[in-house]
Structure 1
Amino acid sequence: MKPYQQIAIDECGEPLVPIPPEHFAFEIPHHYQKLGAPYDNSKADSPYYLRQGVVDSLIAAQTQLQQNHPKWKILIFDAYRPVEVQQFMVDYTFNQIALAQGCDFPVSEDKRQVIIEHVYQFWAVPSLDRATPPPHSTGGALDITLVDQNNRRIDMGSPIDEISERSYPDYFANSNHPQEEQHHRHRQILKNAMINAGFQQHPNEWWHFCLGDQMWAWLTNQNNSGSQLIARYGRY
């Protein structure tokens, strides 16, 4: 169990709603759908859904971003993710790592344990327990980056979903290399817009932000001594 999963959930019943296309850019076609992820039985007709309050705060973040970068937009890479899709992507990531390491299939139990621990540094456990939902399955978490006026991605120094230390938000913070300094500035621009709108950032992923779920409550409590927030979004 990860520390944030110990946070209590008091489900508020807020609806899952589509992210308004007029405000943002989108990853189309959606990467996980291209891989064959099972969205067919989802409660939303696309991955681009969030809780209503999260959408409202996301629009506020976009407004904040454009005060200093008027031609930039937030690109939505992923948002609501059913537990079945979470399981599919955990399995897919496990297999990709195993292949990259030259493992024979089926993977031996000792090697399997090492790989799955590595996977779970970045991917949440696809738990069906209502007390420990994957963040994306609550409608309170999303994966994002930035694009310019020509819909070209702003260079963040590593791709979304990369399983490496380069994914850590402050990985380039102490670099003296001009390009890496720019990567850090770009990550900070994204982070500042989201934090100012009430989101929290995943400690291991520069692209993952959350609001209202267990991770958000846990991070908020960690950052504000004496705060005892609980989650308002459970599994949807």
Structure 2
Amino acid sequence: MKPYQQIAIDECGEPLVPIPTEHFAFEIPHPYQKLGAPYHNSKADSPYYLRQGVVDSLIAAKTQLQQNHPNWKILIFDAYRPVEVQQFMVDYTFNQIALAQGCEFPVSEDKRQVIIEHVYQFWAVPSLDRATPPPHSTGAALDVTLVDENNRLIDMGSPIDEISECSYPDYFANSNHPQEQKYNRHRQTLKNAMINAGFQQHPNEWWHFCLGDQMWAWLTNKKNSGNQLIARYGRY
């Protein structure tokens, strides 16, 4: 169990709604659908859904961003993710790492344990327990980056879903290299827009933000010594 999964959930019942296309850019076709992820049994007809309150805050983040970068947009890479898709992506990532390491299949138990622990540093456990939902399965977490006026990706120094320390939000913060300083500025621009709109950022992933789920409550509570929040969004 990860620390944030100890946070209690008081589900508010807010609906999943589509992310409005006029405000954002989107990764199309969706990257996990291209891999064959099973969205066909999903409660939403696309991955680009979030809880209503999260969408409202995301629009506020867009406004924050465009105060300083009027021609930039937030690109939605991923949003609502059913537990079945979470399991598919965990399995896919495990297999990709095993192949890269030259493992023979079936992977030995010792090696399997090492790889899966590495996977779970970046991917949430695809739990069906209502008390410990994967963040994306609540409709309160999303993966985002930035694009310019020509819909070209703003370079963050590493791609979304890279499993390495390069993905840590502040990885380039202390670099003296001009290009890496630029990567850090881009990451900070995204972070500032999202945080100022009420989101929290995953400690290991520059692209992952959440609002109202267990991780959000846990990260908020770590920063505040006063009233301790609980989550308002559970598994949808």
TM bracket, shorter-chain basis = over 0.9
CA contact (8 A) 1:17 1:51 kept: yes
Q: Secondary structure at the match of 2:76?
A: strand
Cross-structure match for 1:190: 190
Report the Cα offset of residue 228 of structure 1: 0.4
- Quote the RMSD (CA, aligned, Å): 0.3
Q: Secondary structure at the match of 2:65?
A: helix
Report the Cα offset of residue 229 of structure 1: 0.1
Q: Secondary structure at the match of 1:132?
A: coil
Structure 1, gaps ≥5 residues long: none
Report the Cα offset of residue 80 of structure 1: 0.1
Once residues 3 and 166 of structure 1 are traced to their aligned partners in structure 2, the CA distance between those partners, rounded to angstroms, is 23
Structure 2, gaps ≥5 residues long: none
Q: How does 1:57-206 map to 2 (within 5 A)?
A: 57-206=57-206
Once residues 180 and 228 of structure 1 are traced to their aligned partners in structure 2, the CA distance between those partners, rounded to angstroms, is 37
Once residues 69 and 224 of structure 1 are traced to their aligned partners in structure 2, the CA distance between those partners, rounded to angstroms, is 30
1:56-100 deviations in whole A, cap 9, x for unaligned? 000000000000000000000000000000000000000000000
Once residues 201 and 223 of structure 1 are traced to their aligned partners in structure 2, the CA distance between those partners, rounded to angstroms, is 12
Once residues 226 and 114 of structure 1 are traced to their aligned partners in structure 2, the CA distance between those partners, rounded to angstroms, is 38
Report the Cα offset of residue 25 of structure 1: 0.1
Report the Cα offset of residue 226 of structure 1: 2.4
1:164-192 deviations in whole A, cap 9, x for unaligned? 00000000000000000000000000000
CA contact (8 A) 1:220 1:227 kept: no
Report the Cα offset of residue 224 of structure 1: 1.2
* 2:231 is equivalent to residue 228 of structure 1: no
Once residues 186 and 40 of structure 1 are traced to their aligned partners in structure 2, the CA distance between those partners, rounded to angstroms, is 35
1:117-142 deviations in whole A, cap 9, x for unaligned? 00000000000000000000000000
Once residues 124 and 70 of structure 2 are traced to their aligned partners in structure 1, the CA distance between those partners, rounded to angstroms, is 34
Q: Secondary structure at the match of 1:143?
A: strand
TM-score (structure 2 length as normaliser) = 1.00
Once residues 222 and 114 of structure 2 are traced to their aligned partners in structure 1, the CA distance between those partners, rounded to angstroms, is 29
Instruction: Give the ranges of 4+ consecutive aligned residues of structure 1 lying more than 3 Å apart after TM superposition.
Output: none
Report the Cα offset of residue 225 of structure 1: 1.6
Once residues 85 and 106 of structure 1 are traced to their aligned partners in structure 2, the CA distance between those partners, rounded to angstroms, is 22
Report the Cα offset of residue 112 of structure 1: 0.1
TM-score (structure 1 length as normaliser) = 1.00
Report the Cα offset of residue 223 of structure 1: 1.1
1:194-223 deviations in whole A, cap 9, x for unaligned? 000000000000000000000000000001
CA contact (8 A) 1:4 1:218 kept: yes
Once residues 223 and 216 of structure 2 are traced to their aligned partners in structure 1, the CA distance between those partners, rounded to angstroms, is 10
Once residues 98 and 21 of structure 1 are traced to their aligned partners in structure 2, the CA distance between those partners, rounded to angstroms, is 37
Once residues 169 and 128 of structure 1 are traced to their aligned partners in structure 2, the CA distance between those partners, rounded to angstroms, is 29
CA contact (8 A) 1:79 1:136 kept: yes
Q: Secondary structure at the match of 1:133?
A: coil
Report the Cα offset of residue 227 of structure 1: 3.3
Q: Secondary structure at the match of 1:145?
A: strand
CA contact (8 A) 1:11 1:231 kept: yes
Once residues 4 and 152 of structure 2 are traced to their aligned partners in structure 1, the CA distance between those partners, rounded to angstroms, is 34
Once residues 224 and 81 of structure 1 are traced to their aligned partners in structure 2, the CA distance between those partners, rounded to angstroms, is 29
Once residues 117 and 29 of structure 2 are traced to their aligned partners in structure 1, the CA distance between those partners, rounded to angstroms, is 30
Q: Percent identity?
A: 92
Q: Secondary structure at the match of 2:185?
A: helix
Q: Secondary structure at the match of 1:28?
A: coil
Once residues 114 and 226 of structure 2 are traced to their aligned partners in structure 1, the CA distance between those partners, rounded to angstroms, is 36
